[in-house]
A and B are shown apart, each in its own frame.
Chain A
């Protein structure tokens, strides 16, 4: 579930509020958004992917909270890790066009 919105990184663009399919966040006047309905989170990672400044962290556990701290997530390089793998962000190549996609298809039947 979504566990972290970094106060230091968040620029209040509210993209996460918009893209969350299950409306987990709330906008805050003159502030950064809040996780208002955490139990509605379906752990789809879309908010994290759309965050332009890597301020969000969705913990992998869809059933309960891991209570990871921002410092720990930051230290392990987790903030923005998914976005990097998908290849979104300036100067990155989308994973969709990765040569391995075709290499994998040649060897399997997916």
Chain B
């Protein structure tokens, strides 16, 4: 059912609304539709090109269901993640990823062939994968709203029942009433220009928290990727073939792409530029590397740099919770949150269940996105269908913590508001990007930062938000501010070093802190402990 109001608002009623059209959102949409639900998918950009996956190539945690291989796969990063992953979740994600990747093959994804002539399914090329996912979403009868960021969730006393937002290209606004909502908006990289990540501003975390849902593992939010200083391309994996140098050509001792990233950070922090050269890549491997990550070489080729032979300046670009593992706390195997009708998937949901507090390469992330997306799609469809056909007729209201203008109304001076939003974004970036605060964490540094972040939050929450592109940017600024506050409050509470969370003042792992940290709240942020096993709910 669809109608347009006099002010140009698109109104839809559906069983399931999916917010976000990357891998998790598209898997949620097609899975919910195959479960018999009517589905609408709203993406703030374009479903098929938006997000971290579409412009990248990624490995996939695709492991044949043989006991020994599965055990090895589960063990491989367990210690790195601070032993916070859970066996049962790893099993079901491995199972679902295996099934989904096989489906992708049947649906036409052009996998390369192995020596035996069989499709080799341990990787995906983002452009190909996401173009196919868009087609599958359309084929499943899902209505896609492109360029339609959400401003707020809608709810009544029974739970979440839709969302409202802006149509940045078509003009006007949208309002979708639904039996259930899946948040698949990705993580938060704080507009750092990491590849494909500038649409990932923590929007879903804010929406979920405003509905009363909680976050989990937000201390695991300080992923930084190695990238050339001049480039958005953040593919750290290939830097395992790099040597790192100072400007005079001498080697930066101990620097490396895996354990030696801190040494690069300390140099950059002290104002000393670090250069990389992929001179450890064997000659005969180089043509293979060029094909394996087409986009990795694109900036170099266009700058006239041969990364195997020339030194180039590097930086560490913040990927926040996109590669970090914190996110919305999910409370059962359907990826439900504690709020009825609200589900979370992909980077928007915590990935600790399979990664703990650390993610290396993208293979677990891709596996989590497609698996949690389909779990959430199933869960949301079943929930909405159980509510019945009148679920979308409920009298739901907006949940935004900042006042949102009535439909068709403007607020104040738009240029002034745009400038204030930009200033807030820069202020948040100044808290989360510095290695001195976010990578090398101390109680003092975190506390001082929280004080400043509280100020930004209080300033933003009182401002009226217009139902325009400008209003969307203001809400993004609020989402980034809220995300940073959950991150740092949680980081203070974890007085140890575990996974990617590194405390300068507590440099070792403390066995007694083998638990999760759940956070939430808007004006008043809270952090509480939860045992790891308690989160492993069995269906």
Say if A and B assemble together.
yes
Q: How far is the CA of A40 from the CA of B425 in the complex (A)?
A: 13
Count contacts on B: residues with CB < 8 A to the other chain.
56
B112 and A62 within 8 A (CB): no
Give the A-B pair count, Cβ closer than 8 A. Answer: 140
Residues on A lying within 8 angstroms of B by beta carbon are 17-23, 40, 42-46, 49-50, 59-63, 78, 81-82, 85-86, 88, 94-105, 107-108, 110
Complex CA–CA separation, A20 to B303 (angstroms): 23
Contact between A78 and B51 (Cβ–Cβ < 8 Å)?
no
Is there a chain A Cβ closer than 8 Å to B208's Cβ? no
Binds A, one of B193-201, B259-267, B527-535: B193-201
Indicate which residue in B128, B237, B289, B299 contacts A96 across the interface (CB closer than 8 Å).
Answer: B128
Cα–Cα, bound, A98→B361 (Å): 21
Q: B285 to A107, Cβ gap below 8 A? A: yes
Query: Closest approach, in angstroms, between the C-beta of B531 and any C-beta of chain A?
Result: 33
Cα(A110)–Cα(B235), bound, Å? 11
Once the chains bind, are B195 and A44 in contact (CB under 8 Å)?
A: yes
B458 at the interface (CB under 8 A from A): no
Cβ contact within 8 Å between B193 and A94? no
Q: What's the Cα separation between A85 and B115 when bound, in Å?
A: 24
Residue of A nearest to B300 (CB): A60
B110 at the interface (CB under 8 A from A): yes
**Does A22 lie within 8 Å of B231, measured CB to CB?**
no
* Contact call B127/A86, Cβ cutoff below 8 A: yes
Which residues of chain B have a CB within 8 Å of any CB of chain A? Answer: 44-46, 48-51, 54-55, 59, 109-115, 120, 122-125, 127-129, 146-147, 168-169, 193, 195-199, 229-232, 237, 285, 287-289, 291-292, 294-295, 298-303, 361, 469
Do B294 and A95 have beta carbons less than 8 Å apart? Answer: yes
Interchain CB contact under 8 A, A60 and B230: yes
Q: Which residues of B contact A103 (CB under 8 A)?
A: 288
A46-B49, A97-B110, A101-B291 are known contacts. Are A21 and B199 too (CB-CB below 8 A)?
Answer: yes
Complex partner residue of B303 from A19, A60, A102, A108, CB under 8 angstroms: A60
A46 to chain B, nearest CB (A): 4
Is A96 within 8 A of B109, CB to CB?
Answer: yes
A11 to chain B, nearest CB (A): 19
12 contacts between A and B (CB under 8 A): A18-B146, A20-B49, A21-B54, A23-B147, A42-B196, A44-B55, A59-B302, A60-B231, A63-B230, A94-B125, A100-B292, A102-B115
**A107 CA to B292 CA in the complex, in Å?**
12
Given contacts A49-B127, A63-B230, A104-B289, contact A85 B168 (CB under 8 A): no
A101 close to B230 (CB less than 8 A): no
Partner pick for B292 among A62, A63, A110, CB 8 A cutoff: A110
Query: Smallest CB-CB separation from B58: which chain A residue?
Result: A110
Give the nearest-CB partner of B111 in chain A: A97
CB distance B230 to A85 under 8 Å?
no
Enumerate chain B residues within 8 angstroms of A81, measured Cβ to Cβ.
Answer: 301
Per a CB cutoff under 8 Å, which of A23, A63, A101 touches B45? Answer: A23
CB contact between B49 and one of A21, A43, A86 (< 8 Å): that residue: A21
Q: Which residues of B contact A44 (CB under 8 A)?
A: 49, 54-55, 195-196, 232
In the A-B complex, the 3 residue pairs with the smallest Cβ-Cβ separation, listed nearest first, are A21-B45, A60-B299, A42-B198
Q: How far is the CA of A21 from the CA of B229 in the complex (A)?
A: 23
On whether the beta carbons of A46 and B55 are closer than 8 Å, the reply is: yes
Assuming A49-B127, A59-B302, A60-B299, is B114 touching A102 (CB within 8 A)?
A: yes
Question: Contact: A21 with B232, CB < 8 Å?
Answer: no
Docked CA distance A17–B197 (Å): 18
**A84 to B: closest C-beta gap in Å:** 10
Known: A46-B54, A46-B127, A63-B230. A98 touches B46 (CB 8 A): no
A42 touches B232 (CB 8 A): yes
Query: In angstroms, how far is the closest chain A Cβ from the Cβ of B470?
Result: 12
Q: How far is the CB of B204 from chain A (nearest CB, A)?
A: 16
Looking at A78, A96, A102, A105, the one whose CB has the most chain B CB atoms below 10 A away is A96
Chain A residue contacts of B237, Cβ below 8 A: 110
- B197 surroundings in chain A (CB, below 8 A): 42
B231 and A96 contact, CB distance less than 8 A: no
B231 touches A62 (CB 8 A): yes
Within 8 Å CB of B50, what residues of A?
21
Q: Smallest CB-CB separation from B293: which chain A residue? A: A110
Give the CA-CA distance A43 to B295 in the complex, in Å: 11
**B235 to A, closest residue via Cβ:** A110
Extra pairs beyond A46-B49, A60-B231 (16, CB < 8 Å): A21-B46, A21-B50, A23-B169, A42-B199, A44-B195, A60-B300, A86-B125, A95-B294, A97-B110, A99-B113, A100-B287, A101-B120, A102-B113, A102-B114, A105-B123, A107-B285
B114 and A61 contact, CB distance less than 8 A: no
Given contacts A21-B196, A23-B168, contact A86 B294 (CB under 8 A): yes
Chain A residues, CB < 8 A from B114: 102
In this complex, the member of B147, B229, B298, B303 whose beta carbon has the largest number of chain A beta carbons within 10 angstroms is: B298
Residue of A nearest to B196 (CB): A44
Is B361 within 8 A of A110, CB to CB? yes
Report how far A98 CA is from B289 CA in the complex, Å: 12
Known: A44-B195, A110-B237. A18 touches B46 (CB 8 A): yes
